[in-house]
Amino acid sequence: MAQPLELRACALQSLLEPDPAAKTAGVAALAAAHAAGHWTVDSEADLAAPAGIPGRPARPELVPPRMVGRRSMATVEGRAMLVHALAHIEFNAVNLALDALWRFPGMPPDYYTDWLRVASEEALHFNMLRAHLATLGCQYGDFTAHDSLWEMVEKTSGDLVARMALVPRTLEARGLDAIPPLRAKLAQAGDLEAAAILDVLLRDEVGHVEIGNRWYLGLCAQQGLEPVSTYAELALRYRAPVPKGPFNIAARRQAGFTEAELARFT
């Protein structure tokens, strides 16, 4: 019988993979092994951080956010640029889920399987968007992109509480607010297939943010930290972006934000 896969070590291997197709295939294989029960959580293993994290292709060229091009939704190129930007976010989201999975030892098994679920769903999102991009005559890497999401992953690499506070429940939670108006723009432009993909993204992102919220609140309770004031301190320490409205309060509530936190957005 084959040796069970070690979740954290395999996640690190996928994180280091630069080719998007191979990375997402590796995540799918790991998720399938998990579903079949052919896995073990190497939660106490001391895995050193190698060079080359995260693995990613030579393109797209990474530029400051202000230099990422934008075009009208009335043109095919404009819609392709938007779909490309979303695909890049999802590719980064695959990497951040893999990083959350491998980097932090000593957590309960549910922590690792939660982040494997996130990686698997983000990989599916990326492949859906990449396939749709091809129908618009483009491929991933054809346009510039920015690296803001991964920059926060790097900042919080030594602090799991900060990682849960500032990546899933801050940066990823912005998607809960941004997806509905983007979906409306794509539907108005006649791209109903892209709009349907965004419906899947919003549904799944609620669950991803909920995972971040659940582990953040659990870690705060375990360490005797008050969640709201701790979040404010972490956001200041790590220079997290301040969320800007309008906010999708219903989705944020569904994703596990407390009423005390939601009061900041109303």
Helices (H), the chain: 7-16, 20-35, 76-103, 109-135, 148-155, 160-166, 174-188, 192-223, 227-237, 249-254, 259-262
Q: Which helix (H) or strand (E) holds 60?
A: none
Which two three-digit tokens encode residue 191?
A: 């791209």
Q: What is the mean pLDDT of each run of 10 residues along the chain (266 residues)?
A: 79 96 96 91 81 94 84 88 96 97 94 97 98 97 93 95 97 96 94 97 98 98 96 96 92 95 84
Length of the chain: 266
250: domain range? 73-265
Any domain includes 4 = no
Any domain includes 197 = yes
Residue type, 93: A
For residues 161 and 223, give the distance between their C-alpha atoms in angstroms, rounded to a whole number.
Answer: 10
Any domain includes 219 = yes
At residue 135, the pLDDT reads 97
At residue 19, the pLDDT reads 98
Any domain includes 241 = yes
Any domain includes 134 = yes
pTM: 0.95
CATH number of the domain to which 150 belongs: 1.20.1260
Any domain includes 130 = yes
Any domain includes 15 = no
Any domain includes 222 = yes
Question: Across the strands, what pairs with 88?
Answer: none
Question: Across the strands, what pairs with 6?
Answer: 40
Please report how the helices 109-135 and 76-103 are oriented relative to each other, as an axis angle in degrees rounded to 10.
160
Number of domains observed in the structure of the chain: 1
At residue 201, the pLDDT reads 98
